[in-house]
Amino acid sequence: MIIEGATLSLLAPMAAVLSGFVVIGAALPVLPLHVSHNLGFGSVIVGMVAGTQFAASLVSRVWSGSFADENGGKRAVLVGLVAATAAGLFYLVSSAVANAPVLSVTILVVGRAVLGGAESFIITGGVAWGLALVDAGHSGKVIAWVGTAMFAALAFSGPLGTMLFTAYGFAAIGLLTTLLPLLVLGSLMRAPNPRIQLRQRKSDLRAVFGAVWLPGVGAALASIGYCSILAYSSLLYADNHWRPVWLGFTAFGASLIAARVVCGHLPDRYGGAKIALLFVLVQSAGLLLIGLAQSSVLASFGAALAGLGYSLVYPGLGAEAVGGTSPQNRGLAMGIYTAFLDVAMALGSPALGWAADRAGLSVVFFISAGVTFCTTAVALHLAYNAHHANSRTANHVR
């Protein structure tokens, strides 16, 4: 277990990630309504406004990782929180000129781009900060705990954002996005800031990518399963007249958070690849069960199984990615690793939608189960390599 002092220190990066994803999640369900109903634009503009944030996050991953390595994870988090506050100001200005829809949506797109960069700095910096607070043997737990803060934020920020938007309009989302990161920023100023391990030379991006790409591919494949539940579980429930429609995603999120709290130490104890291999089988089984389900009870149980499985695939493979790089490059490694998930989400949602239009919603979960199962090949390869590396080390010691 992580010592008590370090455990308490992890609360700082987790609080930063929590606040960052609260403001991100609060806008997600209401942004299409605002752009279409309030500003009067069609689906193409709605998609452009929503997608700008994710594109900006992807583009800024390597930058945020390098910044965290050169300046420290805490400073990267603080930069991200400042940028999130700036995005909130753009939201407020956009709301103030809503009577000029073209100008309003242009300012809104700028705000979404700034928020995308903020998200990249907050999550990458938060993980780098957490990793710097503990020794290398706890990297899996740090990634799991910081990721838990992200999922917890997304779980309750959607209803919060919907409530604010319904009562006060999009300006309330802008005010939340402006003030919450600012409040957390002030509270983190005195948080522990580990001494930066200065690089002996400039990072070799190719070398870091070489260490990260295989775990990244595995995580991307497993994230197609997460993508299917995030984007299509509510549609599956609605299509089958199951109520409430959000139950599948809630079961997934609750199971994931509980599993990380209870089992977050397993990748560090038994090896990230081994744990990822075991848990991705559970995730695949859960997705398959959703596709086969004839009732909301069975579908929700499948979603909970999928959440249990996915809970340790990301941190397990993340521990492998970080373990293959030097401590001075862990931020860059996490930035590149997370970029694989961005690509999976960007490509997976429309691809699964195409399949749903042609073969039905249940097929989405059969396909995602198959794609997720492909992660086993990656985990097996990594576990095999780790076993032989340990064997060579043991023989050398003898």
Tens of pLDDT, residue by residue over 208-224, are 888 899 999 999 999 99
Torsion sign, CA atoms 354, 222, 80, 160: positive
Indicate the helix (H) or strand (E) that contains 269.
helix 266-270
Determine the length of the chain.
398
Question: How large is the average pLDDT for residues 300-328?
Answer: 89
The predicted pLDDT at position 270 comes to: 87
| pLDDT tens track for 54-104 | 788 888 988 998 898 888 899 999 999 999 999 999 999 999 999 999 999
* CA dihedral of residues 296, 278, 135, 62 (deg, nearest 10): -70
Contact, 65 vs 333, CB < 8 A?
yes
pLDDT at 134 over 80: no
pLDDT at 25 over 70: yes
| pLDDT tens track for 184-196 | 999 888 887 776 5
The predicted pLDDT at position 137 comes to: 65
What's the pLDDT band for 277 if we cut at 50, 70, 90? Answer: very high
Mean pLDDT in the chain?
Answer: 86
Domain 204-398: which CATH number of 2.120.10.30, 3.40.50.2030, 1.10.10.10, 1.20.1250.20: 1.20.1250.20
The predicted pLDDT at position 3 comes to: 42
- Domain ranges, ordered by start, for the chain: 1-191, 204-398
| pLDDT tens track for 216-270 | 999 999 999 988 887 788 778 888 999 887 788 888 888 998 898 888 888 888 8
Rounded Cα gap, residues 29 and 150, in angstroms: 17
Question: How large is the average pLDDT for residues 9-24?
Answer: 88
The predicted pLDDT at position 308 comes to: 95
Higher pLDDT, 296 or 133: 296
pLDDT at 322 over 50: yes
Torsion sign, CA atoms 252, 257, 262, 267: positive
The predicted pLDDT at position 139 comes to: 74
pLDDT at 285 over 90: yes
The predicted pLDDT at position 43 comes to: 66
CATH homologous superfamily of 1-191 equals MFS general substrate transporter like domains (1.20.1250.20)
SS (H, E, C) 174-201: HHHHHHHHHHHHHHHCCCCCCCCCCCCC
The count of other CB atoms within 10 Å of the CB of residue 397 is 6
Contact, 378 vs 221, CB < 8 A?
yes
